[in-house]
């Protein structure tokens, strides 16, 4: 399996944080991968056989991505099967990048389904884009075409991100009451700030905090990669009330226990952080 990340730059980085590319040769065995959730919005562009997709631990492979699809806000573990000959690009949106490009409120999207970007945008732009991408012989050409596509979409958007910037300045993104802090900066009511936060991002600032904390925990476990772990100490280090509180998050996001995660740690992957996160602050 081959993987590569193409980072974005300039104004495009305000909308798309990076492009993730993965492929498997025709003569190589297929793979099943598990992506730890962090409320991401992701556009998948598929150039190989259909990708089987499901969410959480009770996986019945109830979804397929044929040519393209949008996933998110990702609240549960994403499971996907890559058969031989697979090849896809995943465009990872920034915090409010999806809202700014597609101008669609996210507060009613549950995140455990595959969305059609052309249905959302009431156009056939993504279908046309995939045809052009398929015609490109090299992945670098595909990425450059993708960048040009999103830059054109950027020019058509007039959605202000001032509110979201006020929510994500410094370390407010990982504070329970980020929307409350933003409301004082923007001179608006706390309720209005909370509604705006959920409209732009699809979740509350408190929900974001729990996902960021859990992702930082998983990142740490992958880094140290050992079975000799003091779970009580780990729980305290990452701001959990106790070990049972931490275990509930494993069940909530991955539908597994911490011990099972360690036994299958090589099959799990994380997205890159689209913002720089300081040390998790304990509540």
Domain boundaries, the chain: 2-156, 162-203, 220-274
What fold, for 220-274? Arc Repressor Mutant, subunit A (1.10.10)
> Please, what's the b/e burial string for 232-242 (b: 16 or more CB within 10 A of its CB; e: otherwise)?
eebbeebbbee
Q: Which two tokens stand for residue 184?
A: 């004082």
Average pLDDT of 160-174?
55
Render pLDDT for 172-210 as a digit per residue (tens, 0 to 9).
445 556 667 777 777 777 788 788 778 878 888 788 888
Instruction: Give the CATH H-level superfamily of domain 2-156.
Output: Jelly Rolls (2.60.120.10)
Q: For 102-158, what is each residue's pLDDT tens digit? A: 888 888 788 888 999 888 877 878 999 999 999 998 999 999 999 999 998 887 766
User: pTM for the full model?
Assistant: 0.85
Q: Which of 35, 179, 51, 164 is nearest to 111 (CA)?
A: 35
Per-residue confidence at 69, pLDDT binned at 50, 70, 90? Answer: very high
| Interstrand relation of 42-46 and 68-71 (parallel, antiparallel or unpaired) | antiparallel
């Amino acid at each position: 399996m081959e993987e590569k990340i193409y980072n974005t730059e300039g104004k495009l980085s305000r909308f798309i944080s990076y492009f993730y590319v993965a492929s498997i040769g025709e003569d190589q065995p297929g793979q099943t991968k598990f992506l730890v959730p962090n409320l991401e919005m992701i556009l998948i562009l598929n150039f190989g056989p259909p990708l089987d997709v499901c969410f959480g631990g009770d996986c019945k492979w109830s979804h397929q991505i044929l040519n393209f699809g949008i996933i998110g806000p990702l609240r549960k573990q994403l499971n996907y099967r890559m058969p031989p000959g697979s090849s896809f690009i995943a465009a990872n949106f920034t915090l409010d990048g999806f809202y700014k490009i597609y101008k669609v409120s996210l507060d009613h999207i549950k995140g455990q389904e595959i969305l059609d970007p052309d249905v959302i945008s009431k156009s056939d732009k993504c279908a046309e884009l995939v045809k052009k991408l398929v015609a490109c012989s090299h992945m670098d050409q595909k990425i450059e075409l993708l960048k040009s596509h999103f830059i054109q979409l950027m020019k058509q958007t007039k959605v202000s991100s001032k509110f979201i910037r006020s929510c994500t300045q410094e370390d407010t993104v990982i504070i329970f009451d980020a929307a409350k802090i933003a409301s004082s900066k923007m001179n608006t009511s706390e309720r209005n700030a909370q509604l705006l936060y959920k409209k732009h991002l699809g979740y509350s600032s408190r929900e974001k905090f729990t996902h960021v904390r859990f992702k930082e925990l998983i990142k740490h476990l992958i880094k140290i990669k050992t079975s000799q772990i003091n779970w009580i100490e780990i729980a305290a280090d990452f701001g959990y009330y106790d070990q049972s509180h931490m275990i509930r998050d494993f069940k909530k996001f991955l539908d597994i226990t911490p011990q099972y995660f360690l036994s299958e740690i090589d099959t799990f992957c994380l997205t890159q952080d689209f913002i720089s996160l300081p040390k998790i602050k304990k509540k």
